[in-house]
């Protein structure tokens, strides 16, 4: 992951201070790509402001069909036996398409109403974003860098009364990816698996944690071989949505075609699966899949696939081609008819 400047740690401390001291702004906007952090901070605010999501003074709205007039009418309604009314608005699209009516209201909202907005994407040019920034609080929950993720993983495992080495943490990130929700789920599995031991090791991670990236690459290669272009492209976009670097995806696709070529040549020379597995250092049960994949291509097809992957990689590195498009080109070429 590329290093980048971020104000997330500062914003997180400010939000935590608001919650700790009970000094709340009238509107909060929690947004960004990292769903785990969005949901975590959304729930912290709801609990701190409303106490309970079942409270009579708590209302939740979601989706792009929300009517701003109804929100404003509710905001102007006095809370029942409380000094706060809390309105949670999620995935509204207001911060992408704009909402002048609500933006104007947020400049001078009711003293008893508190807004929490949770959105994946925002356009900072919109009036509603500017209104929240000026009178309230906004925080971008972006993808965390590798150093932050390592610290977070070690901290979560320590809170469960267990330890993990820096090397094992790095192995875990490489195996399960950088999505914090996925990592959190895998940590729960590891803690249960290592219930009677104090340390979580690389062997435990290998045994318990699904290699989600490899599984998706395999599914995408299945779709490519079957010439199911729509499914292959959708799986590729899933990988991008999970924040997997395109460079890594292209490298893994290249590896699959390379293995297919090697295995096809050995299979054509009547090598058995056990000998092939030993030669290419694959688990024996995987060799059959590669043999079947390779049957869909001639040797020349696979050579051309490797040449296209290599030329696209070079074009990207020289600035002539975008990585995302370069992989689309490979998928489209090898899912099209002859």
| CATH code: domain of residue 48 | 3.40.50.300
Classify residue 66: in a domain, yes or no.
Answer: yes
More confident residue, 106 or 217: 106
Do 199 and 268 share a structural domain? no
Mean pLDDT of 128-138: 95
Residue 170's domain spans which residues?
146-208
Do 115 and 59 share a structural domain? yes
pLDDT at position 5:
58
Total domains in the fold of the chain: 3
Do 242 and 290 share a structural domain? yes
Classify residue 64: in a domain, yes or no.
Answer: yes
**pLDDT of residue 6 exceeding 80:** no
Do 204 and 219 share a structural domain? no
Question: Which band of pLDDT confidence, cut at 50, 70 and 90, is reported for residue 3?
Answer: very low
CB atoms within 10 A of CB 88: 22
Do 242 and 291 share a structural domain? yes
- Boundary (domain end) residue, out of 93, 124, 140: 140
Classify residue 302: in a domain, yes or no.
Answer: yes
Question: Which band of pLDDT confidence, cut at 50, 70 and 90, is reported for residue 200?
Answer: very high
- Boundary (domain end) residue, out of 140, 168, 183: 140
pLDDT at position 2:
41
pLDDT tens digit string along 244-298?
Answer: 788 888 888 999 899 999 999 998 888 888 888 888 887 676 788 888 888 888 9
Do 59 and 104 share a structural domain? yes
**pLDDT of residue 43 exceeding 90:** yes
> 255-277: buried (b, 16+ CB within 10 Å) or exposed (e) per residue?
ebbebbbbbbebbeeebebeebb
| CATH code: domain of residue 325 | 1.20.272.10
Do 245 and 227 share a structural domain? yes
pLDDT at position 104:
96
- Boundary (domain end) residue, out of 120, 140, 160: 140
pLDDT at position 142:
87
**pLDDT of residue 96 exceeding 90:** yes
| pTM for this model (two decimals) | 0.65
Do 322 and 216 share a structural domain? yes
Do 178 and 88 share a structural domain? no
Do 320 and 239 share a structural domain? yes
Question: Which band of pLDDT confidence, cut at 50, 70 and 90, is reported for residue 129?
Answer: very high
| CATH code: domain of residue 198 | 1.10.8.60
Residues of the chain with pLDDT > 90, as a percent, come to 58
Classify residue 1: in a domain, yes or no.
Answer: no
Do 135 and 155 share a structural domain? no
Do 306 and 221 share a structural domain? yes
pLDDT tens digit string along 135-185?
Answer: 999 999 988 888 899 999 999 999 999 999 999 998 898 788 788 988 998
């Amino acid at each position: 992951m590329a290093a980048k400047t971020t104000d997330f740690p500062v914003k997180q401390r400010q939000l935590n201070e608001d919650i700790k001291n009970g000094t709340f702004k009238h509107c909060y906007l929690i947004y960004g790509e990292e769903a785990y952090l969005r949901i975590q901070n959304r729930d912290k605010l709801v609990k701190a402001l409303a106490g309970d999501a079942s409270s009579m003074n708590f209302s939740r709205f979601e989706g792009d069909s929300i009517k701003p007039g109804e929100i404003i009418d509710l905001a102007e309604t006095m809370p029942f036996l409380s000094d706060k009314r809390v309105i949670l608005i999620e995935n509204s699209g207001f911060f992408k398409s704009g909402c002048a009516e609500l933006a104007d209201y947020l400049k001078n909202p009711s003293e008893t109403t508190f807004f929490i907005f949770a959105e994946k994407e925002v356009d900072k040019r919109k009036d509603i974003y500017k209104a929240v920034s000026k009178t309230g609080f906004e925080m971008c929950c972006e993808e965390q860098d590798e150093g932050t993720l390592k610290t977070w993983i070690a901290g979560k495992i320590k809170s469960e009364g267990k330890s993990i080495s820096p090397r094992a943490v790095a192995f875990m990130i490489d195996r399960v990816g950088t999505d914090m929700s996925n990592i959190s789920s895998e940590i729960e599995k590891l803690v249960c698996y290592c219930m009677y031991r104090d340390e979580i090791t690389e062997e435990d991670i290998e045994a318990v944690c699904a290699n989600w990236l490899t599984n998706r690459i395999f599914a995408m290669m299945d779709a490519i071989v079957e010439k199911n272009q729509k499914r292959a492209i959708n799986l590729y976009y899933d990988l991008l949505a999970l924040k997997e670097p395109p460079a890594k995806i292209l490298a893994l696709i290249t590896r699959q075609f390379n293995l297919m070529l090697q295995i096809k040549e050995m299979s054509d020379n009547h090598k058995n699966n056990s000998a092939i597995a030993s030669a290419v250092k694959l688990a024996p049960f995987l060799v059959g899949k590669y043999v079947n994949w390779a049957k869909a291509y001639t040797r020349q097809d696979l050579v051309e696939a490797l040449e296209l992957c290599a030329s696209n990689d070079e074009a990207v590195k020289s600035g002539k081609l975008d990585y995302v498009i370069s992989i689309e080109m490979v998928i489209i070429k090898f899912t099209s008819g002859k």
